[in-house]
Amino acid sequence: MNKKTVSIYYPQLDGLRGIAFLCIFFFHAYHPHFYDNLFGGYLKFLYSNLALAIDTFFVYSSFLLTLLGIREYEKNGNFSYWNFFLRRTFRIWPLYYFLMLIFFIVVPFVAGRMNIEVSLPPSEYYLLFISNYYFGEHIFMMKFLWTLSVEEQFYIVWGFVMMKFQHKFNLVIGLFIVVSVGFTIYSTLNHMPNFNNTLSYLFDFSAGAIAAIAYHKKNKVVAVFQRMSKLQSVFFIIVLPIVISFTFFIINNRSAGIYKLLFQDLYRYFFVVYISLLIIEQLVNEKTILKLGKNRILVYTGKICYGMYCYHGLVLTIGFYFFNKFSFTNYPMVNALIMLAGTYIAASLSYRFIEGPFLKLKDKLRRI
């Protein structure tokens, strides 16, 4: 690392990422049965909310990259797009393309030897980071990597914004929000798929950027969280479950239709804004009751969560195959925990031997 750079690390945010990954993992790995009554419906709704952890990753990514970009611009008087993109490349590409070799070469070979039929997508969608626009059916272990395509597409645009429009952040972010909300409403009204579309998540990235600007400037929002008492911190934390419960009863009392879909979009926006505020709260509120940076397991999970996220589909696909074939255990939660352990092992080894060398190169390119 350059001697002039200063280490910037927030264990609280790794703790938040750790929770987000575990939500995604259990959403994919554990599929409980819910009774067909009000309480069962409520539990099913809570379970479906685990998928919102994807939005947490988008908000976190935008927050951290924007904060680093602002500080780089202030220190050097400019922002290096090439340096930014190269650092992102060293972080994302080595493990990603290692997995592409496994998915497109090793998996078909092994599956052929075992007489197992696998459905692979056209390789260009994944190799070019546009898999979020591929809607064909294909093997599970690859499906969720569409989020990395969304992030890579955002990096290309946001790096340019940080290079050319640092003094017009508010205008650009406002434009992003208008485009994102407008696209989401239009696609919902016209029954167009928008779940995997990058435009849908410009709102998430914008919220993360706004949080980074607020945190950097130490504005009034930050001051509110700095002055929070422990009781106020408790209230802030329980706002989320209260709104989740309120949303369930609103949705549950409506028949399926366009207004229900629009309300779900509004609910997602609330969640994104809440996560943005939670990031600030974790960084500045010394009296917070949710001390994510103190939980070593969550912090470590967050530290290696890129590998956890990338490998968990492969581990689940292999795990489900063998559990179903050999009936190793009839307890789905036990199966999920075994596969979680396998994911931890794979990600830990990957972080040390595959990602680690490139992370050192990435750190040498930092300009702050």
DSSP string, 51-100: GGHHHHHHHHHHHHHHHHHHHHHHHHSS--HHHHHHHHHHHHHHHHHHHH
Contacts of 103 (CB under 8 A, 6+ apart): 120, 126, 139, 141, 142
Q: How far apart are CA 343 and CA 351, in angstroms?
A: 12
Read off the pLDDT of residues 288-306 as tens digits, 9 standing for 90 and up. Answer: 999 999 999 999 999 999 9
pLDDT at 63: 98
Q: How far apart are CA 290 and CA 282, in angstroms?
A: 8
Mean pLDDT of 35-52: 94
pLDDT at 326: 81
Read off the pLDDT of residues 5-32 as tens digits, 9 standing for 90 and up. Answer: 556 789 999 999 999 999 999 999 999 9
Q: Name the residue with tokens 């992003």.
A: 176
Residue spans of the domains in the chain: they are 11-364
Q: How far apart are CA 204 and CA 182, in angstroms?
A: 14
Average pLDDT score, the chain: 93
Question: The whole model's pTM is what?
Answer: 0.95
Q: How far apart are CA 182 and CA 42, in angstroms?
A: 30
Mean pLDDT of 187-213: 95
Q: What angle do CA 96, 48, 99 make, to 5 degrees?
A: 10
